[in-house]
Amino acid sequence: MGDPTPQQAAFCPACERFIGPETACPYCGTDAQRAGTWRALRTAALGLAVVGLACLYLAGNLPERRVTPIGNITPTMNFATVRVTGKLTRNPYVSRKYGRVDYLSFPIEDRTGEIRVAAYRTVARALDSQDRIPAKGTRVSATGSLRVSDKGRIMLYLQAPEQLEETEPTSSGNDS
Mean pLDDT of the chain: 86
Question: How far is Cα 94 from Cα 129, in angstroms, rounded to an integer?
Answer: 13
54 sits in the region (left: phi over 0; alpha: psi -120 to 50; else beta) called alpha
- With contact defined as beta carbons under 8 Å apart, do 32 and 26 qualify? no
For 61, the 3-state DSSP assignment is: coil
pLDDT tens-digit readout, 34-67? 656 667 888 899 999 999 999 988 887 776 778 9
pLDDT at position 58 is 86
How many CB atoms within 10 Å of residue 87? 21
pLDDT higher than 80, residue 127: yes
pLDDT > 90: percent of the chain? 56
Cross-strand partners of 148? 154
Rounded-to-integer distance, Cα 55 and Cα 11, Å: 39
DSSP annotation string for 101-135: EEEEEEEEEETTEEEEEEEEHHHHHHHHHTT----
Burial (CB count within 10 angstroms: exposed 0-12, middle 13-18, buried 19+), residue 143: buried
Domain 70-168 sits in CATH 3.30.70.1140: no
Query: Of 97, 69, 37, which Cα lies nearest the Cα of 154?
Result: 69
Q: 117: burial class by Cβ within 10 Å (0-12, 13-18, 19+)?
A: buried
Q: Where are the domains of the chain?
A: 6-60, 70-168
pLDDT value at residue 175: 47
Q: State pTM to two decimals.
A: 0.63
- Which tens digits make up the pLDDT trace of 75-103? 999 999 999 999 999 999 999 999 899 99
